[in-house]
Structure formats: structure tokens, C-alpha cells
Structure 1
Amino acid sequence: MVLLNHLELPILSLAINAVLAKIADADIASTVPTIIAPFLVPASKLKLEGGYLTTNSSKLPIYGIQVGPETDVSRAIAAKTQKPPPSLQIHYEPLACFLQLARAANLPTFIVVGQRSQGPFNPASSDDIETLYKIGELIASTTGTYFQREQTKTNWIPTTKLASDAEAWRAFYG
């Protein structure tokens, strides 16, 4: 499990590329790992037929996007998620970056997209936390891992940001 929290381009693309390259280079005898990538996308970045998706619905959808070869795990998750409607447009740079690099690596990848009502540095709403729970339970039930809702802590406090992209670039390379 890798958590890339609050990284921005170009650092994000370097980190994703390094992780995918490490997975692709791993000496795995007979099984090909399926990468499951959950993304919480701000509602303002999801557009459906010219308008924005709303958070008024009592049941926010969890969308699933298959990338690369299909596996048993990806089929199981696809059965429990909604396929995005053809008119859905996602304008979220971290997801676009990951999608391009996953396609280039041609690794079995399944992207789970949940809607976030708040910005990344605002306090989480109950809908945001509910979406996190739904994604956690979905992944746990499909992969045979353990997820306990009562002990999940959600912390939306931002990490310290560097003053500029140039400083972030230098910090990444040392």
C-alpha cells in the first residue's frame, strides 16, 4: 500500500512513475499484481452532461475504471462499482497523471473514483467520510483484507507545503 497524499505535479508524476516501475520490475513468479488506486475527486472536478455532479443525492456513486489487462480482482471490483457514464468528465490532474502512467506501464489496474464534496484542505463532511468508508469496505471485501470502520481515523489536515515547485523539485532529488 502506498499513500501519496497532497503531492502536486511534477513531483506526483515522478513518485507514481517510480512506484509503477518498481511493481513492473518485481520478480513475481506466477501472479501479476492488480493495482487498486482509489481517488477522492472534488465534486467541482466531476462534470456530467455540461453540469456538475451534485452531492444532494443520498447515495453518492463509486465509479470504477479498468486500465490494462483484466484480472479476477478487477472483475470483482467492477461488479461492485458503477461504470462511469460516457458523458462523465473528470478534470483532476492527479487522476489524469496516474491514468497516463498506468496505461504506459500496461499493468492490471483498477481505479476507484469517489466524489469529495470539500476541497482537499477543508474539513471533511459526513458525505466525504461515508465515501471513504464505502471505498475502504469495497476494497477490503474484494481483496480479502481487513477494514474496520469504527477504527478508521480521517485526517484532512494538510502537510507542510514547500514555497515553490522549484524547491519541491530540489527537495525530491536531494
Structure 2
Amino acid sequence: MRVGSRVVVLVRDSAGYGAALADALRPSPGLTRGSSPFDLPLDKYGLNGEKASGELVSFSDSSGSPQVSFFVLPDYRPPVAACAMNEILALISSEAPSIQPILIVPFITRPSGCFHGMVNATKTGQLTTLHAAEIGASNEFTHLLVDGIIKPPPSLQIRGEPIQCLLEMVRVLKIPTVLLVTSGGQHQGKSSSDSDLEVLQCVGDHVAKHINLEFSKETVIETGVEKSASIQEPWRELYL
């Protein structure tokens, strides 16, 4: 199971953004896309029968060598989340090329009082603002990814156990990582589908241009963004 030197980590969140972004990022000319499921046992953590499961998507060159890899993960819950992310990081380190892999972690949060300043109207009427931060170690590539982009505000709260665990681990392990974060949800004067497309394109275009992929807004329009029932009950966030 080979892994590219650029690794994108996406979570199938209840808002549907992670899965939609994984589908909308397509190979550029010269690359081919392939995917396969993976299961990593967690017995050594005392979680007998539990596994870190997900999908590994690879974009490979003509020789079959992965250039970019996506880990598309379920929204793991404790205690599986921390153990699963530890196993996935170990897999990345062991299966990536000899050069240290770089992680890209897109995170689309729902607008809330905990993230003031995430949604700002621009002169063009666009309501989506991208923020970026280097986590763990940094290098020339991570500098390029965050160049010219505002850092996330101090009020940012990551409401997702897998991403929280991942960010804490890469800090300790000093793995070069870039967190890309913006705010989703319906914006005033826009339909839900238009808002979803705007926020996905904001993140997708930025990721794609730095890792030689293409963002397909047509894919988002055709397949839509599948939200789980829980996203319709915002009161539940009070108890997270």
C-alpha cells in the first residue's frame, strides 16, 4: 500500500463536505486515480475487534507511482479516534517515499459563535474566507500553501475528534502539516447548494493548484453534498 509524498486527510463529516471534496478533486493530465479500502486492526490498543477503516485514494503517474494520496476516513469516535489516527500516521510514515510526507488537512466548519470572523463578505459578494496554519514542522512547500492566507482566529474550535487527534499527534511527531479551514453552511441570499459549492470550491481550488490536481465543480453540482440527519439538529452541538 504505497502512499504519495503529499497526503490529504479528509473526514466524512455529517455536513458531507469531506466526502464531496474527495470526489471533486480529480486527476490532472498524466495522472490516474485509483482507490481501495483499508482496515488496520486496533487490537494492540485493547480494542479487540475494532479497526481503523477507510478509503485510500491515490493519484499515480504513468509508472504507477503515487504522487498524491487521500485518506478518506469515517468520523471516528473515542477511543477509536486516537488509536486509528496513530495507526494511519504510522502507515503514512512507513509507506511514503524516502522524503518526509507532507499532510494537508482541509476542515470545513459550520458557522457558529465559536468561530467569529470566519465568514466575511468581500467586494465581489463572496462569503467564504480561507484560513491556513502550519502545524508540526514546516518547510518550503508548507510555506507555499499558507502564503498570503490569513491564520485561523484564536477562537477556532475543531469539532471533530479525528482531526483534533491528528493535529495533536503531528505537533508531537513534528510532521509537516497544513490545516486549511473555512466555514460552511447556508449564507444569506444564497441557496444551500450554492453555498456548498462556494465553500468547496474555495478549499478545492487552493488544494488542487498546489498538488497538481483539478477541482471539478461539475462533480459537486451533479452529485450534491449528502448531509446526515444530525446536521439538521444544530441544538446537538451544544452538547459536543
**TM-score strictly above 0.5:** yes
Measured at CA, do residues 145 and 13 of structure 1 come closer, stay the same or move farther in structure 2, by a change above 3 Å? same
1:10 aligned partner, one-letter code: P
**Structure whose residues are more often helix by fraction:** 1
Measured at CA, do residues 26 and 70 of structure 1 come closer, stay the same or move farther in structure 2, by a change above 3 Å? same
The match for 1:90 among 157, 164, 180 is 157
Query: Following superposition of structure 1 onto structure 2, how do residues 97-108 of structure 1 map, counting pairs within 5 Å?
Result: 97-108=165-176
Q: State how many pairs are aligned.
A: 149
| 1:64-92 superposed Cα distances (whole Å, 9 cap, x missing partner) | 1101221232111101532123x433252
Q: Distance in 2 between matches of 1:28 and 1:113?
A: 27
Q: Distance in 2 between matches of 1:155 and 1:15?
A: 26
Q: Does 1:18 align with 2:87?
A: yes
Q: Does 1:70 align with 2:138?
A: yes
Runs of 4+ off more than 6 Å = none
SS of the counterpart of 2:225? coil
Q: Distance in 2 between matches of 1:110 and 1:82?
A: 13
**Structure whose residues are more often strand by fraction:** 2
The match for 1:111 among 179, 184, 192 is 179
Q: Distance in 2 between matches of 1:90 and 1:19?
A: 23
1:60 and 1:115 in contact (8 A); partners too:
yes
Residue ranges of structure 2 left out of the alignment (5+ in a row): 1-69, 230-240
SS of the counterpart of 1:47? coil
Residue in structure 2 matched with residue 151 of structure 1 by the alignment: 219
| 1:135-159 superposed Cα distances (whole Å, 9 cap, x missing partner) | 1110110111222222234432439
Q: Distance in 1 between matches of 2:172 and 2:103?
A: 14
Q: Identity across aligned pairs (percent)?
A: 21
1:36 and 1:111 in contact (8 A); partners too:
yes
1:67 aligned partner, one-letter code: I
Residue in structure 2 matched with residue 46 of structure 1 by the alignment: 114
